[in-house]
Chains A and B, each alone.
Chain A
Amino acid sequence: MINSEPCECGRTHPRLMRILGRTDDMIVIRGINVFPSQVESVLMKIPEVGEHYQIIVDRKGPLDIMKVMVEVTETGFSDKIADLMSLSKMISKELKGVLNVVADVELVEPGTIPRSEGKAVRVIDKRKV
């Protein structure tokens, strides 16, 4: 991950952040390289959702589609449906900003995304070669 904020020491050049994952976790969606760790870093900045996620890649006609499932936390849950809709839209927009890929965001109940035991199954690729 690239950190473009100035360092405490005053250096302003983009720096490498701590290593979040292996590069061979990479998936290619519509020709764009996507690292699951990027998705994680986006979600960690959003308090309304948990840091667990699952990426589902599928193909619709000739195009790849990416769906990100995230868990709603109790703090993020609003009684109003419009708030929940705008939450998923906001996450989708944030993901687009970082990944440059349009991702559908699906909000799910907490605890429904499988937890990592050793190696987490974060990406489910349903595309057929």
Chain B
Amino acid sequence: MVAIKQISLFVENKPGRMAKVSKTLSDAGVNIRALTVAEAGDFGVIRMVVDDPGNGYKVLHDNGFTVSETEVLAVEMKDIPGGLYEIVNTLGESDVNVDYAYAFVTTKAERAMLIIRVDNLEKARQVLTSAGIKLATKDEIQKI
């Protein structure tokens, strides 16, 4: 399975909350690959991809955060205009819905990485692979 684990956190929309989250991860030596914060009034949801999701989940959970793990896809994207279009168009034509997505550029700077959460993981995997788009595995995310 090529799906990777994303850590999601429930946080109140208050000063210092993100600092506490990042301090917890930094103390545990967990490195954040990509991160996004969605806000919804009084609270927000932090979603992130880290190098060691197992450990990341554990330290956050042990420190009293409301955490959950979600399976997402990490899609390799060409770092050129139209790179994103190629991926989302493939998904759209196959009727796979993207719930949310966020992207980051790898340090090699040739490829960008798109993290997507879709309604149908298996189908998304199939259509992307058959369109010649590469999905990153857990190990690859760890090694970046």
Contact = CB atoms under 8 A, between A and B. Distances in A.
B117 interface: yes
Contacts of A108: 12, 42-43
A84 B70 contact: no
Interface in A52-90: 72-74, 77-81, 84-85
Given A72-B10, A80-B99, A107 B43 contact: yes
Given A84-B45, A85-B40, A79 B64 contact: no
A81 B68 contact: no
Interface string B21-38: 000000000000000001
A9 to B, nearest CB: 42
B142 interface: no
Given A80-B99, A84-B43, A110 B12 contact: no
Contacts of A79: 6, 8, 45, 47, 68, 70, 117
Contacts of A21: none
Nearest to B47: A79
A107 B10 CA distance: 9
A51 interface: no
A112 interface: yes
B40 A84 contact: yes
B106 interface: no
B11 interface: yes
B42 A106 contact: yes
Contact of A107 (B42, B68, B70): B42
Contacts of B8: 77, 79
B104 interface: no
A85 B40 CA distance: 8
Nearest to A107: B43
Interface string A95-113: 0000000000011111110
Nearest to A108: B12
B55 interface: no
Interface of B: 6, 8, 10-12, 38, 40, 42-43, 45, 47, 61, 64-68, 70, 99, 117
Interface of A: 72-74, 77-81, 84-85, 106-112
Given A73-B66, A79-B45, 5 more contacts: A77-B8, A81-B45, A84-B10, A84-B40, A107-B10
Which 7 residue pairs spanning A and B have beta carbons closest together?
Answer: A79-B8, A79-B70, A77-B66, A81-B40, A77-B10, A106-B42, A77-B68
